A and B are shown apart, each in its own frame.
Chain A
Amino acid sequence: QKEVEQNSGPLSVPEGAIASLNCTYSDRGSQSFFWYRQYSGKSPELIMFIYSNGDKEDGRFTAQLNKASQYVSLLIRDSQPSDSATYLCAVNMGYNFNKFYFGSGTKLNVKP
């Protein structure tokens, strides 16, 4: 079983819609959770992190964490074509705080 799982997509949404990206993780001791955006040929760019249950909002982005159900999600409101990228979920497992496990990423396409 993979430590971090994401639907590979592609997820297609029209411009202006809400894109919802999901991630599940296997280790209940996981401490912190990160969303990265990666454009083709570029390095991952940190968008948001969350470590407490509930929602965390930053501009058009909202991260949601539910530790009981072991999932974390990223909502992108008012999606723009420039949001088209691969979104990577990363989890910092509890037993080694300096080791990050990455999901395989979800490719998002925002259609104009």
Chain B
Amino acid sequence: DTEVTQTPKHLVMGMTNKKSLKCEQHMGHRAMYWYKQKAKKPPELMFVYSYEKLSINESVPSRFSPECPNSSLLNLHLHALQPEDSALYLCASSQVLAGGMGANEQFFGPGTRLTVL
């Protein structure tokens, strides 16, 4: 099973709303990722969790707040977003590769299409 699930599929929110995106995987992966993707651009890394601890924050504005409640779940809390935050938000997971040879394949969920009005 190489499935990563994300909810909701679509989300429309106003600039004053608070909402959350959810991601789940049952592949036993201990690294989970949030990416943002604008049209015709590659995925842009936002956050990485490794063993449920935040290991990378790519200088993301504080209106995005990640949370990793356990090894299978990843949330992204949204508050006071701007229209330019409208994008496809992708969750991904992989094994944690600490060193040596090998590859930690990263699998993506279907994404949440976010529109901020």
Contact = CB atoms under 8 A, between A and B. Distances in A.
A51 interface: yes
A34 interface: yes
Contact of A98 (B55, B90, B101, B103): B55
Interface residues of B, number: 28
A13 to B, nearest CB: 21
A84 to B, nearest CB: 15
Contacts of B45: 99-100
A98 B96 contact: yes
Contacts of B43: 44, 88, 102
Interface residues of A, number: 26
Contact of A43 (B33, B41, B104, B110): B110
Tell me the interface secondary structure of chain B in the complex.
loop
B98 interface: yes
B103 A92 contact: yes
Contact of A46 (B98, B99, B105): B105
B41 A98 contact: no
Interface in A13-58: 31-34, 36, 42-46, 49-52
Given A43-B90, A46-B107, A98 B31 contact: yes
Contacts of B109: 43
Given A43-B90, A43-B111, A92-B97, A100 B42 contact: no
A33 B102 CA distance: 10
Contacts of B111: 42-43
9 contacts: A32-B97, A32-B103, A43-B110, A46-B106, A46-B108, A92-B97, A92-B103, A97-B98, A99-B45
Nearest to B2: A46
* 9 closest residue pairs by CB, A with B: A32-B103, A102-B42, A97-B97, A43-B108, A49-B103, A43-B111, A51-B103, A98-B31, A44-B108
B7 to A, nearest CB: 14
B42 A32 contact: no
